[in-house]
Chains A and B, each alone.
Chain A
Amino acid sequence: GNSVTQMEGPVTLSEEAFLTINCTYTATGYPSLFWYVQYPGEGLQLLLKATKADDKGSNKGFEATYRKETTSFHLEKGSVQVSDSAVYFCALSATGNQFYFGTGTSLTVIP
């Protein structure tokens, strides 16, 4: 079946620290992979995506590379800001019309 596993939080970092949020997946076929971000009281917003192996998605300083050999799609940012505080969701879309989400990782960045 299809599933996503992401690192549990919460994660607390100081401003300008390096961020990694791990995400691994299980899927039938060749999925597309996504990172979504949810700010307090809001819906989810697409942060970045990759649709095939070795693709790198990037946006707002965040990056993630689709690694088929390790079934991973880890989210990274070189220098986090207070405004990056949010909940981050890894997700996949494979066969059929369904998305599968991880449980979310809460990030707090302190000045």
Chain B
Amino acid sequence: EVQLVQSGQEVKKPGESLNISCKTSGYNFANYWIGWVRQTPGKGLEWMGIIYPGDSDTRYNPSFQGQVTISADTSISTAYLLWRSLKASDTAIYYCARTGDTAIPNWFDSWGQGALVIVSS
């Protein structure tokens, strides 16, 4: 069974850094793209970017380029989303999700449970 288990809720202050994780199991982690999706009440679901763990090919939505870093560690089948300096506007639920096809990024067939990130002074 494919499983994606995310790290827990975080409460941070503006300017702080944060790294959230997505530990996967039940499939060959290196062979499927993993993406990150932001959900806010105002903007719905936003596709942030995606990584192919096998060769670390990473693609970003221009809206998030430079704001976050996506990475993956194949030795522990885990993907990460990193902020170096959080803003209040980063407050949201963040989902990791696996694509349904090994070749190219496409639909997301398996999702993590979501991680709530709250950024407040």
Q: Do A and B come from one complex?
A: no
Q: Which residues of A contact B (CB under 8 A)?
A: none
Residues of B within 8 A of A (CB): none
